Structure 1
Amino acid sequence: MNSQPNNPLHGVKLEEILIYLEENLGWKTLGEKIKIRCFTTDPSVKSSLSFLRKTPWAREKVEELYLKTKLKEAKN
Protein backbone atom coordinates (compact mmCIF):
# COMPACT_ATOMS: atom_id res chain seq x y z
CA MET A 1 0.00 0.00 0.00
CA ASN A 2 1.36 3.41 -0.94
CA SER A 3 1.86 5.86 1.88
CA GLN A 4 1.05 9.52 1.40
CA PRO A 5 2.47 11.26 4.46
CA ASN A 6 2.13 14.74 2.93
CA ASN A 7 -1.53 14.34 1.99
CA PRO A 8 -3.77 15.24 4.97
CA LEU A 9 -6.82 13.87 3.11
CA HIS A 10 -5.31 10.45 2.45
CA GLY A 11 -7.73 7.80 3.67
CA VAL A 12 -10.57 10.26 4.30
CA LYS A 13 -13.66 9.56 2.19
CA LEU A 14 -15.64 12.38 0.64
CA GLU A 15 -18.75 11.14 2.44
CA GLU A 16 -16.93 11.40 5.79
CA ILE A 17 -15.91 14.96 4.94
CA LEU A 18 -19.50 15.96 4.10
CA ILE A 19 -20.94 14.36 7.22
CA TYR A 20 -18.32 16.07 9.39
CA LEU A 21 -18.97 19.49 7.83
CA GLU A 22 -22.74 19.12 8.03
CA GLU A 23 -22.57 18.10 11.70
CA ASN A 24 -20.14 20.86 12.64
CA LEU A 25 -21.29 23.72 10.41
CA GLY A 26 -24.74 22.79 9.12
CA TRP A 27 -26.11 23.04 5.59
CA LYS A 28 -26.89 26.76 5.92
CA THR A 29 -23.30 27.69 6.79
CA LEU A 30 -21.96 25.32 4.13
CA GLY A 31 -24.13 27.08 1.56
CA GLU A 32 -22.87 30.46 2.72
CA LYS A 33 -19.20 29.47 2.64
CA ILE A 34 -19.38 27.49 -0.61
CA LYS A 35 -22.08 28.84 -2.88
CA ILE A 36 -23.33 25.73 -4.65
CA ARG A 37 -26.94 24.63 -4.98
CA CYS A 38 -26.45 21.18 -3.48
CA PHE A 39 -25.86 22.95 -0.14
CA THR A 40 -28.59 25.59 -0.45
CA THR A 41 -31.52 23.87 -2.16
CA ASP A 42 -32.88 20.73 -0.48
CA PRO A 43 -29.43 19.60 0.70
CA SER A 44 -28.53 16.00 1.45
CA VAL A 45 -25.34 14.00 1.70
CA LYS A 46 -26.41 11.83 -1.25
CA SER A 47 -27.12 14.71 -3.65
CA SER A 48 -24.00 16.57 -2.54
CA LEU A 49 -21.81 13.50 -3.09
CA SER A 50 -23.21 13.07 -6.57
CA PHE A 51 -22.45 16.68 -7.49
CA LEU A 52 -19.02 16.83 -5.86
CA ARG A 53 -17.82 13.63 -7.51
CA LYS A 54 -18.53 15.17 -10.92
CA THR A 55 -17.28 18.69 -10.14
CA PRO A 56 -13.57 18.90 -9.22
CA TRP A 57 -13.52 22.63 -8.40
CA ALA A 58 -16.39 22.24 -5.91
CA ARG A 59 -14.81 19.18 -4.33
CA GLU A 60 -11.57 21.13 -3.84
CA LYS A 61 -13.47 23.89 -2.03
CA VAL A 62 -15.16 21.34 0.25
CA GLU A 63 -11.83 19.65 1.01
CA GLU A 64 -10.22 23.03 1.80
CA LEU A 65 -13.07 23.95 4.14
CA TYR A 66 -12.77 20.55 5.84
CA LEU A 67 -9.05 21.03 6.44
CA LYS A 68 -9.56 24.57 7.76
CA THR A 69 -12.36 23.41 10.06
CA LYS A 70 -10.32 20.49 11.39
CA LEU A 71 -7.31 22.76 11.97
CA LYS A 72 -9.46 25.29 13.83
CA GLU A 73 -10.94 22.49 15.93
CA ALA A 74 -7.46 21.16 16.77
CA LYS A 75 -6.37 24.61 17.99
CA ASN A 76 -9.30 24.83 20.42
Structure 2
Amino acid sequence: MTQKNNPLHGIKLEKIVNDLVDEFGWETLSTHININCFKSNPSVKSSLKFLRRTPWAREKVEYLWLKTNDLPLPTPKPFESKPAQTTSQTSTKHSISSSNSSQSDKPVNAHIWGK
Protein backbone atom coordinates (compact mmCIF):
# COMPACT_ATOMS: atom_id res chain seq x y z
CA MET A 1 0.00 0.00 0.00
CA THR A 2 1.96 2.98 -1.27
CA GLN A 3 -0.74 5.60 -0.69
CA LYS A 4 -1.44 5.07 3.01
CA ASN A 5 0.03 8.47 3.97
CA ASN A 6 -1.67 10.36 1.15
CA PRO A 7 -4.87 12.05 2.40
CA LEU A 8 -6.01 12.57 -1.22
CA HIS A 9 -5.90 8.86 -2.05
CA GLY A 10 -9.32 7.72 -3.22
CA ILE A 11 -10.76 11.27 -3.33
CA LYS A 12 -11.97 12.28 -6.78
CA LEU A 13 -11.17 15.72 -8.11
CA GLU A 14 -14.88 16.28 -8.76
CA LYS A 15 -15.63 15.79 -5.06
CA ILE A 16 -12.88 18.24 -4.14
CA VAL A 17 -14.23 20.92 -6.49
CA ASN A 18 -17.84 20.36 -5.35
CA ASP A 19 -16.82 20.54 -1.68
CA LEU A 20 -14.95 23.80 -2.24
CA VAL A 21 -17.84 25.33 -4.19
CA ASP A 22 -20.27 24.31 -1.43
CA GLU A 23 -17.94 25.73 1.22
CA PHE A 24 -16.95 29.01 -0.46
CA GLY A 25 -19.02 29.57 -3.60
CA TRP A 26 -17.46 30.45 -6.97
CA GLU A 27 -16.78 34.11 -6.21
CA THR A 28 -14.97 33.50 -2.93
CA LEU A 29 -13.19 30.48 -4.38
CA SER A 30 -11.83 32.67 -7.18
CA THR A 31 -10.38 35.04 -4.58
CA HIS A 32 -8.65 32.17 -2.77
CA ILE A 33 -7.30 30.66 -6.00
CA ASN A 34 -6.86 33.18 -8.78
CA ILE A 35 -7.64 31.15 -11.91
CA ASN A 36 -10.07 32.02 -14.68
CA CYS A 37 -12.03 28.76 -14.55
CA PHE A 38 -13.37 29.99 -11.17
CA LYS A 39 -13.98 33.56 -12.36
CA SER A 40 -15.31 33.55 -15.88
CA ASN A 41 -18.54 31.55 -16.35
CA PRO A 42 -17.54 28.91 -13.77
CA SER A 43 -18.84 25.36 -13.84
CA VAL A 44 -17.68 22.11 -12.30
CA LYS A 45 -17.21 20.54 -15.74
CA SER A 46 -14.99 23.32 -17.12
CA SER A 47 -13.03 23.52 -13.87
CA LEU A 48 -12.35 19.78 -13.89
CA LYS A 49 -11.17 19.94 -17.49
CA PHE A 50 -8.77 22.79 -16.68
CA LEU A 51 -7.50 21.30 -13.42
CA ARG A 52 -6.77 17.91 -15.00
CA ARG A 53 -4.59 19.59 -17.61
CA THR A 54 -2.89 22.12 -15.33
CA PRO A 55 -0.86 20.55 -12.51
CA TRP A 56 0.04 23.80 -10.72
CA ALA A 57 -3.64 24.81 -10.47
CA ARG A 58 -4.67 21.34 -9.33
CA GLU A 59 -2.07 21.45 -6.56
CA LYS A 60 -3.51 24.75 -5.31
CA VAL A 61 -7.06 23.35 -5.30
CA GLU A 62 -5.98 20.18 -3.51
CA TYR A 63 -4.01 22.21 -0.97
CA LEU A 64 -7.01 24.45 -0.21
CA TRP A 65 -9.27 21.39 0.16
CA LEU A 66 -6.81 19.74 2.57
CA LYS A 67 -6.49 22.96 4.56
CA THR A 68 -10.29 23.42 4.68
CA ASN A 69 -10.80 19.87 5.96
CA ASP A 70 -7.97 20.07 8.54
CA LEU A 71 -6.08 17.23 6.88
CA PRO A 72 -2.28 16.90 6.83
CA LEU A 73 -0.73 19.26 4.30
CA PRO A 74 1.92 18.10 1.85
CA THR A 75 5.48 19.15 2.43
CA PRO A 76 6.41 22.19 0.37
CA LYS A 77 8.30 21.44 -2.81
CA PRO A 78 11.77 22.94 -3.11
CA PHE A 79 12.01 25.94 -5.39
CA GLU A 80 13.49 24.93 -8.72
CA SER A 81 15.07 27.80 -10.57
CA LYS A 82 16.20 27.33 -14.12
CA PRO A 83 19.52 28.89 -15.00
CA ALA A 84 19.25 31.85 -17.33
CA GLN A 85 20.51 31.19 -20.82
CA THR A 86 23.51 33.20 -21.82
CA THR A 87 23.92 34.70 -25.25
CA SER A 88 26.49 32.05 -26.14
CA GLN A 89 23.90 29.34 -25.49
CA THR A 90 21.12 30.97 -27.44
CA SER A 91 23.01 32.15 -30.51
CA THR A 92 24.64 29.92 -33.06
CA LYS A 93 27.54 31.24 -35.07
CA HIS A 94 27.52 30.40 -38.74
CA SER A 95 30.57 31.10 -40.80
CA ILE A 96 31.14 30.16 -44.39
CA SER A 97 34.65 29.04 -45.02
CA SER A 98 36.49 26.22 -46.68
CA SER A 99 37.42 24.78 -43.27
CA ASN A 100 33.71 24.17 -42.49
CA SER A 101 33.01 22.29 -45.72
CA SER A 102 32.88 18.98 -43.83
CA GLN A 103 30.10 20.37 -41.64
CA SER A 104 28.05 21.36 -44.68
CA ASP A 105 27.66 17.66 -45.55
CA LYS A 106 25.59 17.14 -42.37
CA PRO A 107 21.82 17.58 -42.60
CA VAL A 108 20.33 20.75 -41.23
CA ASN A 109 19.61 20.53 -37.46
CA ALA A 110 21.48 17.23 -37.19
CA HIS A 111 22.36 18.07 -33.59
CA ILE A 112 18.63 18.23 -32.79
CA TRP A 113 17.44 15.14 -34.61
CA GLY A 114 20.47 13.03 -33.79
CA LYS A 115 21.47 12.27 -37.37
- Give the TM-score, by structure 2 length: 0.59
2:11 matches 1:12: yes
For residue 23 of structure 1, report the CA deviation from its aligned partner: 0.4
Higher helix fraction (1 or 2): 1
* Structure 2 match to 1:34: 33
* Structure 2 match to 1:55: 54
Larger-gyration structure (1/2): 2
Letter in 2 for 1:26: G
Aligned to 2:29, the other structure's residue is in SS state helix
Any idea what the Cα deviations from partners look like across 1:36-72, whole Å, max 9, x if unmatched? 0000111000000000000000000000000000118
Letter in 1 for 2:32: K
Any idea what the Cα deviations from partners look like across 1:4-51, whole Å, max 9, x if unmatched? 111000000000000000001111111001000000111000000000
Mapped to 2, the partners of 1:5 and 1:29 lie a distance apart of: 32
* Percent of paired sites with the same residue: 61
For residue 3 of structure 1, report the CA deviation from its aligned partner: 5.0
RMSD: 1.3
Aligned to 1:71, the other structure's residue is in SS state coil
- Give the TM-score, by structure 1 length: 0.89
Mapped to 2, the partners of 1:71 and 1:29 lie a distance apart of: 19
Letter in 1 for 2:60: K
What is the total number of aligned residue pairs between the two structures? 71
Q: Which runs of 5+ in 2 are unaligned?
A: 72-115
Structure having greater relative contact order (Cα 8 Å, sep ≥ 6): 1
